[in-house]
Amino acid sequence: MDSNEKLPVLVTCARGVASWLADEIKQLGFPANGVMESGVRTTASLNDCMKLNLELRTGHRVLLQIAELRARDATMLYEKVVRLPWPDWIHPTGHLCITSSVENETIRDSRFANLKCKDAIVDAMVRDAGQRPDSGSDRTGMVVHLHWSGEFATLYLDTSGEPLSKRGYRKIPLEAPMQETLAAACIRASGWNGESSFVNPMCGSGTIAIEAALVALNRASGLTRGNFGFMHLKGFDGKLWQELFQNAKSRTTDRKTKIIATDNRPGAVEAAKMNAAAAGVADAIEFGVCDYRATKLPEPPGVIMLNPEYGVRMGDEAALAPLYKEIGDFFKQSCAGYFGYVFTGNLRLAREIGLRSKRRLTLYNGAIECRLLEFELYAGTRNP
């Protein structure tokens, strides 16, 4: 394929994140042609997709569109897909994975649509190239994504492969970790740009603090990944990729912003340190083992961000109510001059904080509707 041909691209993201993803895409020099609930449409080439995968912090998958079809059922889907020039896009050897999003009344199980799509592709490869790739659910090679809604099907080359939330640095995730892209979205939503202090009590495996350090150091989020979907596609320019990679690596700064991460569990802090080292930002974060209320805050201004348990996957709501009240007390008594943020999926518990939020942003952690609550923490009483 022509690596410089501009094609429609869909960058997916968690629900609620699209506006910040659109800003990222525009800052990288690409248009935001359409902002949807869980994605942003842009225009880019295969070579451009390398940059998007390397740099985007809030996106999940960078999907390069190659075909739009009309198909009433699986038989028609096969007939349309098998006619496409697959040897122009994928290699006859290697590994092929089909993923899909299917809403078609004739399809009860999306795996059947995946199978028909895969059969069409490998049959076309045998016909036109004399060979066919292996196939399976592993996303470490070539990945083709099928979006089929009603009679309309769109086929994409997934240039990410594994979702971009899998940065490659989280060696020890601990329980119920926040996804890297969601942590990056919370930081971006806060407006923090690395020029003031950032404090992350209850740090767990360190994801929020690590993503903050990546921002502060201007370090590309994709530098810790050794494999992307685009590397396995026809037209992949390995030399250009090395240039992009090295340029991004050399751009990393040594800004001395204070980033502090604490947890009352020594094992969590050790895990966070290991993850930060894998991300290349260990020296940018000050770690400590302590109760969150004992976290020593640098002089304001700054951001303090907490992601406490919220009684959905771990813990009990009634038992957590005092914790949320204590967070409100901590903000009020110890964090004057900061902007405080609490990310939670439990609005009943959020009310226990007892402070009036300046903003309440809706973000999704998987299927869980969550809020990022912003509190402007003044010293004393604010004048009306």
- Looking at residue 365, which CATH number applies to its domain? 3.40.50.150
Give the confidence band of 383 by pLDDT, cuts at 50, 70, 90. Answer: very low
- For residues 74 and 198, membership in a common domain is answered with no
Q: What is the mean pLDDT of residues 314-325?
A: 85
Residue-averaged pLDDT of the chain: 95
Is 118 part of any domain? yes
Q: What is the DSSP letter of 83?
A: T
163-173 pLDDT, tens digit each: 999 999 998 87
Q: Which residues pair with 261 in a beta bridge?
A: 200, 287
- For residues 68 and 152, membership in a common domain is answered with yes
What is the H or E stretch that residue 101 is in? Answer: strand 95-103
Q: Specify the residue for token string 């209320």.
A: 293
Q: What is the per-residue pLDDT for 215?
A: 97
Q: What is the per-residue pLDDT for 176?
A: 72
Is 119 part of any domain? yes
- Which range of residues forms the domain containing residue 76? 7-158
Specify whether the CB–CB gap between 17 and 362 falls below 8 A: no
Specify whether the CB–CB gap between 308 and 317 falls below 8 A: no
Look at residues 47, 39, 20, 17 and name the one whose alpha carbon lies nearest to residue 233: 47
- For residues 198 and 339, membership in a common domain is answered with yes
Q: What is the mean pLDDT of residues 84-100?
A: 97
- For residues 328 and 212, membership in a common domain is answered with yes
- For residues 116 and 205, membership in a common domain is answered with no
Neighbours of 195 (CB within 10 A): 10
Is 259 part of any domain? yes
- For residues 36 and 100, membership in a common domain is answered with yes
Is 86 part of any domain? yes
117-135 pLDDT, tens digit each: 999 999 999 999 999 999 9
Is 381 part of any domain? no
Is the pLDDT score of 291 beyond 50?
A: yes
- For residues 137 and 195, membership in a common domain is answered with no
Look at residues 62, 61, 122, 59 and name the one whose alpha carbon lies nearest to residue 90: 122
Instruction: Please state the domain count of the chain.
Output: 2
- For residues 211 and 148, membership in a common domain is answered with no
Task: Give the rounded percent of residues in the chain with a pLDDT score beyond 90.
Answer: 91
Look at residues 176, 224, 163, 124 and name the one whose alpha carbon lies nearest to residue 39: 163
Is 174 part of any domain? no
Is 35 part of any domain? yes
- Looking at residue 136, which CATH number applies to its domain? 3.30.2130.30
Task: Give the rounded percent of residues in the chain with a pLDDT score beyond 70.
Answer: 97
Q: What is the per-residue pLDDT for 1?
A: 85
Q: What is the mean pLDDT of residues 3-22?
A: 97
Both tokens assigned to 316: 């009990």
236-265 pLDDT, tens digit each: 999 999 999 999 999 988 878 999 999 999
For residues 113 and 99, give the distance between their C-alpha atoms in angstroms, rounded to a whole number.
9
- For residues 120 and 79, membership in a common domain is answered with yes
Q: What is the pTM of this model?
A: 0.95
Both tokens assigned to 363: 């973000």
Is the pLDDT score of 335 beyond 60?
A: yes
Q: What is the mean pLDDT of residues 313-339?
A: 90
- For residues 152 and 195, membership in a common domain is answered with no
- For residues 110 and 193, membership in a common domain is answered with no
Q: What is the per-residue pLDDT for 313?
A: 53
186-243 pLDDT, tens digit each: 999 999 999 999 999 999 999 999 999 999 999 999 999 999 999 999 999 999 999 9
- For residues 143 and 286, membership in a common domain is answered with no
Is 168 part of any domain? no
Neighbours of 4 (CB within 10 A): 11
